[in-house]
Structure 1
Amino acid sequence: MAILAVAVATPASAQAVSPDFDWGDDSSPFANDRECDDPRFVGPGMVGFSDEEHRGADATDCFLMFKRGRITLADGAGSDGAAAPRTVVGGIDYGDDTGRWANDGECDDPRFEGEGMAAVLVEEDRFKDASDCRRLVEAGSIALRAGESGGAPSRSAPAPAAAGDVDFGDDTGRWANDGECDDPRFEGEGMAAVLVEEDRLRDASDCRRLYEAGSIALRAGEGGAASAPATAVPTAPATPPPPVTPSGPVDFGDDTSRWANDGECDDPRFQGRGMAAVLLDEDAMRDASDCRRLYEEGAIDLVGRSRADVAPAAPAAPAAPPASSTAGIDFGDDSSRWANDGECDDPRFDGEGMAIAPQGEDTMRDATDCRNLLAEGRIELR
């Protein structure tokens, strides 16, 4: 297995790395898939979720993405690839800032709780959002969860409670009976990759089976019995999206979600194989392009409604074709930052002449490259 450690010639605007930067190798099962899976990096060229097992294990993808400016080193990673120092203040080990969502103003470390926490917490961010979490603790917006130690994780664990002493709840969770435990009170190899508070006590069968098999255990400080939720300052409920009537068209909304144009529908009003793995109410009516395309392809449907009952809204009238439209194909213009680089960055096309990771934002914005490559037979419309 080859180890990739090379000097990188980067443009003046790109982030610099040491000539001795250790890119690692391609031992990840997701290597060479046109996305960087190494958690030392951040940017649009990254995979949706990255964890520590892929550190230094996706060298080729990450090198190419870095070279093209699609990713940069995370704030916590040094220019030589070394790990960042940990932040320990007031007896709390906050870890470092190597998390994907570090320095975004919210604490993503699942050891904490409070109004300053991110909406979705995942285990891979434990000890990896130091600056955000430290600031919010000092501001009184978050605190360590009951039973969570402020120090580094211990390798020893208390004896597990008997299954009969654990209240597993019920199976009303969205992901119940899928073979993984989604209840965030537990931890272990049998847990789902993404855990959210709404699944607490709502995946009983999966969690009981995995608990009895020894694949998961209750987290330190988590009692087996259901407990009353902590008192919190009430907030006004979010305004629900307008209902879709069976006789009316589908209002897909707009593309203001942070997950818009990523190829998956993030609008929780829909369901189907084209949906994102994690859905949030805040994304309702905010991922229009993805959801419209997947709806029209039959990959998703409105929750609780038949496609025969609901017709999609008529698409907006197309703009007048620009000068670059030829042979019935509207190539758009050259306003992309990657225009005229010899590769087609428009994700409507496919083929050997395409950029490594086309982005939705480059749709119809790389006309010259795409027209030339189509004429050469090196790309084609999807």
Structure 2
Amino acid sequence: MGKELGVLEPAFTIKEQACITSPKGFKAAGIHAGIKRKRLDLGAIVCEVDASAAAVYTVNAFQAAPIKVTQDSLGVAGKLRGVVVNSGNANACTGQQGVMDAYAMRAKLAEQLGCPAHLVAVASTGVIGVMMPMEKVTQGIEELMPTLKERDTSFAEAILTTDTCTKQVEVTLEIEGKPVTIAGVAKGSGMIKPNMATMLAFVTTDAVIESEILQSLLWKTTDETFNMITVDGDTSTNDMVLVMASGKAAHAPLDMQHAEWAKFQQAFQYVCRELAKMIARDGEGATRLVEVVVEGADHEQEAQKIAKAVVGSSLVKTAVFGADPNWGRILCAVGYGAPSLRPESIDVYLGQVKVVEGSVPLPFDEEKAQVELKQEKVVIRLHLNRGHATATAWGCDLTYEYVRINASYRT
């Protein structure tokens, strides 16, 4: 993964009041359509022009119907005018009727926008195996249109399920002296595991960038951000990250040869990384964000596998919840994360407390280690002393509350 971009000299400004519609050319809205009992459950992001678009999807074999529809839309020209999103119903494992319903959602928003159907994407999240209440959804899409606005926060609420908070990030930068904005919004709390997670993420920008370049950037960025988080080891049927670029900033098109490409890439990666971390921190029932940093690996893939194994270990997660500095669980996860690893040279830190050196236990202050494990952000650092590759993964602790939430998810 390399060192995190934007730490020393960020080429962008972070906005405190983030909003998915801040980039020029976008509007959004969220309403209660009746899919859920009370909370907002239907939303849309709309661009006033045909935006360059890119997406990545879940690797679960049971891809939900909206995934198939969005893939179909983007496969035509890589352009979008809008995306309609519902929460409360995943429209997954619903057979041919579910696919027809997802296409009907696409057609309805396209009708309201007066554009071809392939310029609309669809996303859903919620309970699996329940048919979509299409009468409510269709009427809801009609009701959405008059509520679309340029400064909207309701969309971020409409996509939530068991999340405890909205997740929004926004940065601004300059390209060729012109202001460019990148904004992101996400949902995700449970059924979170690379690749990707039960998560939906939407990123908008007014940068000028062709769809093919945007897709390449999204693939690379996803591998280093959304694919490096886990909450509970379950990969969902509905995961999607969708990006739309309006081009309203009116600079020369961005690509790898552009003099300010690195600046844009840095800002884009920051938005995705922060959204990923917000998802991990808001894991169902979680009390702590866990960050696992692997250094000194032979290659990036080795570092990533080990970081994911440690942050995804149920035993490590429960140890963090109990503030138990049981470093043996960490080394155990390292071992099955990279079975070919030479185990003689690993250093382990719990926050600032070094507990293992050269794979041999060190005397350490148990109380200081417990203090580190009680921080809101718990950092576990591993140095393999093999090479120069690094990777970082994010997750959360595993609590009694997680069991309570998921034992009664449908009720």
Coarse TM-score class (shorter-chain normalised): under 0.3
Larger gyration radius, structure 1 or structure 2: 1
Give 1 or 2: higher helix fraction. Answer: 2
Q: Give the TM-score, by structure 2 length.
A: 0.25
Give 1 or 2: higher strand fraction. Answer: 2
Question: Whose relative contact order is higher, 1 or 2, with alpha carbons under 8 Å and at least 6 apart?
Answer: 2
